Amino acid sequence: MIIKEVMSKSILSKSQVYPYVINPYIGCQHNCSYCYARFMKRFTGHQEPWGQFVDVKVNAPDLLRKQIAKKTPETVWISGVCDPYQPLEAKYILTRKCLEILAQNDWPVVIQTRSPLVQRDIDILRTGKDFEVGLSITTADDHIRKLFEPNVPSIGARINALDELHQAGIRTYAMIAPILPGAEHLADMLIGKVDYVILDRMNYHHADWVYRKYHLEDKLTDGYFFQTERILSAAFTKAGISCR
Ligand code: SF4
């Protein structure tokens, strides 16, 4: 793993998903097999394989303070092409510092992570004016999780994080995307811990080799995805949880 501290030119970028996005890191230690963000290699000049490098934008909080001073608050997505709570965040605390600034200035925030490290920042999340936190959970089966996301914390740890955040009064959502084998059993684990759910097939071809290697091709069909979507939508809707 090659880790570099870098000085970034900008930290608050326009996004097509939410008005703005912040990526405190370039690269991601989680290295999920299906990760769509690996296209970032092309734009950042990295030759190393995805998951083997992280650039740490050590000036992110200073930049953010300057950039929001000239703007009207709009929703910020943290993060689009890295996990803002990948293991390095425990050392660099950049996501936390950015959240502090956004909370102090009443900017709405949507966090998306696969890590229970987000629980560390509950104190700040509670002070945000319109903050919500999503944990990406792609399957209910930890064996499957290890095949596709070996470097990511367990499903149980992520569900516990959602539970603690929800109980702390923070708006929470589960991002069931990409829908992996075993996702159809997630509803019972999530009901009572989330305000809404996002379902997405996200058919990224990078993980096709994992399906082939572990003979899971029957779970890579339209039939499987639509059936899983129907099962989950019905269960969440019945529990009064909206599905997008
Ligand atoms: S956590 Fe997100 S950004 Fe990081 S490797 Fe996984 S899918 Fe990619």
Element (H, E) at 190: helix 187-190
Per-residue b/e over 141-173, b at no fewer than 16 CB within 10 Å? beebbebbbeebbebeebbbbbbbbbeeebbbb
Q: Whose CA is nearest to atom 5 of ligand 1?
A: 31
Structural domains of the chain, ranges and CATH numbers in brackets? 1-112 (no CATH), 130-244 (3.20.20.70)
pLDDT values of the chain reduced to their tens digit, one per residue, 244 residues: 999 999 999 999 999 999 999 999 999 999 999 998 887 777 778 888 899 999 999 999 999 999 999 899 999 999 999 999 999 999 999 999 999 999 999 999 999 999 999 999 999 999 999 999 999 999 999 999 999 999 999 999 999 999 999 999 999 999 999 999 999 999 999 999 999 999 998 777 889 999 999 999 999 999 999 999 999 999 999 999 999 9
How far is ligand 1, taken at its centre, from the CA of residue 20, in Å?
19
- At 135 the three-state DSSP class reads strand
Binding site membership of 38 for ligand 1 (Cβ less than 6 Å): no
For residue 194, the CA-to-ligand 1 centroid distance in Å is: 21
- Residue 114 Cβ contacting ligand 1 at under 6 Å: yes
What local confidence, expressed as pLDDT, does residue 145 receive?
A: 97
Q: What's the pTM value of the predicted model, to 2 decimals? A: 0.95
Identify whether the C-beta of residue 90 lies closer than 8 Å to the C-beta of residue 124.
Answer: no
DSSP state of 23: -
Q: What is the pLDDT of residue 44?
A: 79
The pLDDT value recorded for residue 228 is: 97
